[in-house]
Structure 1
Amino acid sequence: MTAPPEPLDAAVDALYTRPLDGFIAARDAAARQAADAGDSLGAQRIKRLPKPSVAAWVINHVVRERPDDVAALTTVGDELRAATQDRDRARIRALDHLRKERTEALVGAVRQAGEVGGRPVSAAVLDRLTETLTAAVMDADAGAAVRAGRLARGLQHAGFGIVDELGEEADLVALRPAATSAEVQEERPEETADTAERAVEETSAQVDRLEERRDDVSDRLRTAEAAVDDAQDEATRLDDELARLTEERDAAHRTLDEARTAAEEARADLAAVEQELDDAEDRAAQARRRRRAARGK
């Protein structure tokens, strides 16, 4: 019998509100608690949660501390996509200005505070926050992932899609509450005692086999997680070294945003000109027909 989905979801959320240094220990404890409660699937889901980077930890805390500001920002993304589809150039420009304004206001508030959750915020982390908020506006799935407050890495909008702060393809699927038993309950046919007994024996044997496999995989997982933690520490150390490159990267992002806006404007202008051309060709054809008719009289 599995635990209700609400405790699992609450346990996952609680992990992302804890101090970063204690994440691994807290995650393992939450997984054991879920397993002790009989929720083996939930325990596996919790155990697979990666330790957030420093930037992701800060972003998750900002999202939880300022949910209204983040929601207002991602709403701009919905409106931008609608305006782009409608080819409303004036609306696109206004919304892009609003996007930058709200992003800068939110990042500026964090910069002024100088810390999040008691952890000082570096210039490199502020850059990651800006990139992630931009990605949340530009991509609906990224927006949902950011609002969930469970990021393991910061996000970037790379033109062709969303990548994480290491440049790898981002997994935007956030953990959500499992379906309730009422939602998944199905009617089962009646079973005889013999059939039920065989089913118990078969499933018990399968459980034994799977438990052995689980123990083996758990050993491998612990070794892999230790390697992941070492690699994460190294990646975090390199964040500071990458700070000198952020100014050039930010300039490239600004140029990219301006180019996208110009491209959308050009598409809208082209569509308008093509429509005018079609109308003009129709009028010219009508004029030629009237001229032929007039000459035939």
Structure 2
Amino acid sequence: MTARPEPPDPDATDLDAMVDALYTQPLDGFVAARDAAARQVADDGDRLGAERIKRLPKPSVAAWVINHVVRERPDDVAALTAVGDELRAATQDRDRARIKALDHLRRERTEALVSAVRDAGEVGGRPVSAAVLDRLTETLTAAVMDADAGAAVRAGRLARGLQHAGFGIVDEHGEEADLVPLRPDAAEPGKAAEDAEPDPAAAAERAVEETSAQVDRLEARRDDASDRVDAADTAVEHAKDAAARLDEELAQLTAERDAAHRALDEARAEADEARADLTAVENELDDAEDRAAQARRRRRRAARGR
């Protein structure tokens, strides 16, 4: 049997640095830079590494922005993902007060990062839309809620934004997140899985921890939702009282308006009657003045005839 040739063993740090450099490229230049890097790695003798680089997908706009934010604010991102470690520890201890406090801290740190990007209005010279800000928020949340997602985000090599869907991490399109490692293990593909002994007890323990964590998270969400319901019910009662007062005021104003309209109609009727009386009196006055003038003329003629 012909012996299988040993795979090449290039310098992993150089390869990682090359991949990191790809994700710092302007988005429009990613494909050309990726293909050039793949050719260089192939020329160096690492065909498998070259193939994996060649298959690296061009980041979405959201992922490109997220990767740049991670590189520009690594301490803030690390501080945020550290909250995830504390949350998982608090969840394991079933410390609901600590979980609630850490969840509040998670929201604060996430909003601080997103607000900084929103205020800047751009990342790497590219304007940031409201949709991209939403993807940034979702990805940072996923980085806190899932340790593997946190590591992927901190690496700054995302091809798509991430979402925490309750049952796991999906990408910004709702598909299963595919974070393929750059280099395979030294063992043959599938061999480690074949050689590994199943550990049902460990799997069951992990299942208990995960479901307990989910219960705690849901309880915290339920408490938060209950608080919001109470606040909303109080607001509804206040609004109902205000609406009742306004209805009473409206009824009073409506009655006053109707009374004013009636008074206006009566005043107009009286004005019309008075105007008619005035016209009649003026006509009678004109007739009286005519008769008086005629009488004065007759008197003058009578005086001259005597």
TM-score normalized by the length of structure 2: 0.58
What are the Cα deviations for residues 215-255 of structure 1, in whole angstroms up to 9, with x where unaligned? Answer: xxxxxxxxxxxxxxxxxxxxxxxxxxxxxxxxxxxxxxxxx
Measure the CA separation in 2 of the matches of 1:116 and 1:72. 20
> How is 1:73-92 mapped onto 2 (pairs within 5 angstroms)?
73-92=80-99
Q: Please name the residue that 1:122 is paired with.
A: 129
User: 1:54 is matched with which residue: 49, 56, 61?
Assistant: 61
Question: 1:1-297 residue pairs with structure 2 within 5 A?
Answer: 1-175=8-182, 259-262=218-221
Identity of aligned residues (%): 84
SS of 1:156 mapped into structure 2: strand
Task: Give the drift of 1:41.
Answer: 1.5
| C-alpha deviation, 1:175, in angstroms | 3.5
2-structure distance, mates of 1:264, 1:124: 29
- Pick closer, same or farther for the CA change 1:262–1:53 going to 2, 3 Å: closer
Q: Would the alpha carbon gap of residues 22 and 262 (structure 1) be closer, same or farther in structure 2, given more than 3 Å must change?
A: closer
Q: What residue identity is the alignment partner of 1:20?
A: L
TM-score, with structure 1 as normaliser: 0.60
1:172 to partner: Cα distance: 3.5
Report deviation, 1:168.
Answer: 0.2
Cα deviation 1:29-82 (Å, max 9, x = unaligned)? 000001111111111110010000000000000001111100100000110111
Measured after TM superposition, the shift of residue 3 of structure 1 is 2.5
Question: Could you say which structure has the greater relative contact order, defined with CA pairs below 8 angstroms and 6 or more residues apart?
Answer: 1
Contact residue 163 and residue 170 of structure 2 kept, 8 A? yes
Offset, 1:174: 4.5
Cα drift, residue 176 of structure 1: 6.5
Gap change, CA 1:69 and 1:142, over 3 Å in 2: same
Contact 2:78/2:154 (8 A) holds in 1: yes
Unaligned runs of 5+ in 2: 1-7, 187-215, 225-306
Please give the root-mean-square deviation of Cα atoms over the aligned residues, in Å: 2.1
> How far apart in 1 are the matches of 2:134 and 2:61?
12
Instruction: Indicate the structure (1 or 2) with the bigger Cα radius of gyration.
Output: 2
Gap runs ≥5 in structure 1: 180-256, 266-297
Q: How many residues align?
A: 188
Aligned counterpart, 1:186: none
